Structure 1
């Protein structure tokens, strides 16, 4: 049996979800699960007295950074162990999830999984194929970090410098990509997204601005390629629709996900390109109930 080092699992959430129980059940004697919430009034704290190995950390309201970045920073500062796992509360963690990540760390060093976003509203469903090709596939092929499933040790990065910058920006995993090299292990997690049209519009704005401030070359390339493909889609709709559909079924095969929504790749293009443009020019966006104005990479204003 694999005798893993003690691990601190960081889970930002304000409410108790299935993921909380799944992770609590995977803890070994020396592990800890840090449930990082905003305040003592959050619903998740109702579980505080009932779970062994689980600690509840009140991060407080963010000032000059996102709520997620604030939570991760508070969790890293409170963690008792050098080996850290970041994760999210919105996807299924199978019983061997934590042990598997630890074993893979021994083989590869820092490791990350890949998300596949599945829409819960009409707009998010429509955009699924382009989220797969423009979001998940580059993470998969480029060994890039998804903050929902990443394992590393504090010594793998300059922790003090990272935490200082994390408290002044929006994207936790966008910043981590600048500090840490990982191996993606070819494993995809299904992550439900959306629920309302408003959420579906705000999400690509946030993602576009993350690329704008952390990877300007990537957003410029995405915008240029999208415009070129859109032009082709207008001039030659049938051939382009056929090619896009086949390509997106192939993307799903690479990611190990079979979704009928690949057939929506052609119409999704006509929505995706305007949303990318909107994301580039928008001055603010909403994320988990807070409105952010992201003026520069380390210049963030938090509103209601």
Structure 2
């Protein structure tokens, strides 16, 4: 059997989690898991003591001019010992074959990303699941957009790693920036990610998602606006046929991507609400993410404030 390529798994987190346990159990002898926190987390230190040097704590410090996530990824990449890198998040289940499948994906496709399926944890987030399925799952798959929650690439895939890390520490979206530097293959394999938790959290997430697309793909935002406006107009002008067609379309998307949720029934009202939500996301001057408020003035101009 061929020896697995040594891999550094970078996990930004605020503490030890089920994901930490799941990933640590999948490491090959030469691999490492970097648990990246803003500062020293005693709970993480205590748990890392249960492992050998394959699991390490990396202190990223507070971000200045970028998101906490981007800052953590940059710190993790600088601390990583290996050329093959896996980025992941702690908000979804990592089954026992998760890391092995990413390794095989890279050997087959090169840089590879899995797909998120966002599952709402409050009434508004649940109602918006059809929108998440279309923009966060289908569009990501069709356009081969990387999702930082689960992806693999190698340092050599970056033209200039130092410049990439410098840019990462000046922006919000880690995967949005990576998309501009590395060509990915997005495989049709989904991970269910909880989102929301309260109406306010869902609205803040909507602003963040909207502005990420706007900053990194303004043409995509314009296309989304045009399509959304046409769809909303059709729903209002021909309500009964549109209700049936839109619901069936989203039900088909759910079936195609293995999403077993009743929320496809919300597709019709969400289609009407999509444009107001887009306008709201673009009009907001700031948003809250992970306990910090971000003002995203330009792609590489970010102000970070306490929430």
- Is 1:152 the counterpart of 2:159? The answer is no
Residue 179 of structure 1 aligns to a residue whose secondary structure is: coil
Residue 128 of structure 2 aligns to a residue whose secondary structure is: helix
1:111 corresponding residue in structure 2? 112
d(CA) in 2 for partners of 1:123, 1:180: 34
Select the residue among 255, 258, 261 that pairs with 1:256: 258
Residue 210 of structure 2 aligns to a residue whose secondary structure is: helix
d(CA) in 2 for partners of 1:6, 1:155: 15
Equivalent pair of 1:13/1:44 in contact (CA under 8 Å): no
Deviation track 1:116-139 (CA, whole Å, cap 9, x = no partner) reads: 101111000000011101221011
Deviation track 1:255-279 (CA, whole Å, cap 9, x = no partner) reads: 2323221111011224332221111
d(CA) in 2 for partners of 1:175, 1:135: 16
Aligned length: 304
- Is 1:21 the counterpart of 2:1? The answer is no
Cα distance change on mapping 1:232 and 1:42 into 2, 3 Å:
farther
Residue 172 of structure 2 aligns to a residue whose secondary structure is: coil
d(CA) in 1 for partners of 2:56, 2:133: 35
Select the residue among 203, 220, 223 that pairs with 2:222: 220
Compare 70-79 and 13-22 and name the one that shifted more: 13-22
d(CA) in 1 for partners of 2:114, 2:143: 12
d(CA) in 1 for partners of 2:13, 2:122: 22
- 1:84: Cα distance to partner? 0.2
1:55 corresponding residue in structure 2? 56
- 1:32: Cα distance to partner? 0.3
Select the residue among 240, 243, 246 that pairs with 1:244: 246
1:266 corresponding residue in structure 2? 268
Residue 264 of structure 2 aligns to a residue whose secondary structure is: helix
- 1:41: Cα distance to partner? 4.1
C-alpha RMSD of the superposition: 1.2
Deviation track 1:78-120 (CA, whole Å, cap 9, x = no partner) reads: 0000000000001111101111111111111111100010111
d(CA) in 2 for partners of 1:68, 1:38: 10
- Specify every segment of 5 or more residues in structure 2 that has no aligned partner in the other structure, as ranges: none
TM-score between the two structures when normalised by the length of structure 2: 0.96
TM-score between the two structures when normalised by the length of structure 1: 0.97
Deviation track 1:175-228 (CA, whole Å, cap 9, x = no partner) reads: 000001111121111111111111110111001101111000011111121122
- 1:42: Cα distance to partner? 6.3
- 1:280: Cα distance to partner? 0.5
Equivalent pair of 2:247/2:267 in contact (CA under 8 Å): yes
Select the residue among 147, 166, 179 that pairs with 2:168: 166
Residue 191 of structure 1 aligns to a residue whose secondary structure is: strand
- Specify every segment of 5 or more residues in structure 1 that has no aligned partner in the other structure, as ranges: none
d(CA) in 2 for partners of 1:182, 1:268: 30
